[in-house]
Structure 1
């Protein structure tokens, strides 16, 4: 992949639905947020349909697919129910993620090594349906190598540990996690995988990771929705895109 290749921004609208569900009504509407983000320059929209429907709901996914003009990335656990819904929805991509009902957010990457046999039929059936499959994994050599064997064309590197270390000022931890991400992105690219990244990214960490030419897409949600409370979602998307572009140029 060329170092000068464009870097896509996927905006995750889950937490617009979280706010809506706090009052049980219809507003704020995550589909409206998706349309605003696209108008401001988002390249795609990401939404996670959780098994407990704590934020995004089935109808949100159907409306997103019907109403947005950019690719829809459907995050989901590898379950028969989610497979059925995703194949009926026909999003551009499905990102398989780990999921525990009691977690506040996705806590780590999918263990594709330990769950290889269970994941194989899901990847195959999504591929057969013409849906691009992404695996949300840690930047770990064994996980990346297994992802390639599973015939998923895309991985998304879980950046949460790195971002947490940066935000909390744990410099040694941040540096070691950054080196893992750099090595993992290079390994995945050499294995023929398209490389995305996400979880915990803000303006500063997005700008830094944008310098890695192997990474084709960033998926960012929670931070952007928080910023949008103060400056508006359109402005947040524009500032994020500018940060990503600065990082891309710095990486050559």
Structure 2
């Protein structure tokens, strides 16, 4: 794996939510997202991400039970900052808990969490999770005020939302995509300066991963929908291997 400037590793977390989406479209138990998680583990993923939504549209509670039992790599449990989800996280004590915004009508997470508007509540919310041993991260936009607020509430990790950059790139809006990438670069550096570990994710593909992987402060990328989609055509292990190779090449070139 490629090296960061400080000698750390650029990690890849694989999100298996949309294996559950396919399963739930038909009902029953197939395809099994836990099987996908284990395949990702075998293929070299550094961690597995699963988003237990309030409406349970893909990942189910039983999936989390089995992931906790069977995974050897860390589980990153994505969830909304609700009392129900806090209880679930405290019962399982996953390696990491990533707090994300949720709206019932959205197809996927549309933006970062508004930490600034809920500083006091979120500070109190994450305290018992940290005490239970879970590493709390905040899924957040590339916005200075939000990142500073995340640092103030005591979250050790932020995950920068890369969706806007990916969408602009896919639409051929090169100038706007470059501006968004510059914003991500600046805010990743700010997070690191504030003592936060910086992750990134949302919408990343083979075509968009390299510029994000090349950002020196970023320590982890979380990628799901694209990898599950590619697995239909190539298999999950080859899809992960190609993504890893692109990440590592971009980081090596950036460090040269």
Give the TM-score, by structure 1 length. Answer: 0.98
Compute the displacement of 1:3 (Å). 5.1
Runs (5+) with no aligned partner, structure 1: none
Counterpart of 1:134?
Answer: 137
Compute the displacement of 1:5 (Å). 2.9
What do the CA deviations read for 1:125-172 (whole angstroms, capped 9, x no partner)? Answer: 111111100000011110111111010000000000011000111112
- List 4+ stretches of structure 1 deviating above 2 A: 1-5
Equivalent residue for 1:72, pick from 63, 70, 75: 75
Q: In the alignment, does 2:116 pair up with 1:108?
A: no
Q: In the alignment, does 2:189 pair up with 1:218?
A: no
Counterpart of 1:232?
Answer: 235
What do the CA deviations read for 1:182-241 (whole angstroms, capped 9, x no partner)? Answer: 000000001000000000001122122111120000000000010000000010010010
Equivalent residue for 2:5, pick from 2, 7, 15: 2
Counterpart of 2:85?
Answer: 82
- Could you tell me whether the CA contact under 8 Å between 1:4 and 1:248 is conserved in 2? no
What do the CA deviations read for 1:55-104 (whole angstroms, capped 9, x no partner)? Answer: 00001011101101100000000000000001111100000000001100
Q: In the alignment, does 2:38 pair up with 1:38?
A: no
Counterpart of 2:24?
Answer: 21
Q: Secondary structure at the match of 2:12?
A: strand
Equivalent residue for 1:164, pick from 152, 164, 167: 167
The 5 A counterparts of 1:186-205 are 186-205=189-208
Q: In the alignment, does 2:156 pair up with 1:174?
A: no
RMSD after superposition = 0.9
Matched positions, count: 252
Compute the displacement of 1:118 (Å). 2.1
CA distance in 2, matches of 1:143, 1:62: 32
CA distance in 1, matches of 2:180, 2:92: 36
Compute the displacement of 1:175 (Å). 1.1
CA distance in 1, matches of 2:116, 2:27: 39
Q: Secondary structure at the match of 1:235?
A: helix
CA distance in 2, matches of 1:102, 1:117: 27
CA distance in 2, matches of 1:114, 1:176: 26
Counterpart of 2:158?
Answer: 155
- Could you tell me whether the CA contact under 8 Å between 1:204 and 1:243 is conserved in 2? no
Runs (5+) with no aligned partner, structure 2: none
CA distance in 2, matches of 1:120, 1:238: 38
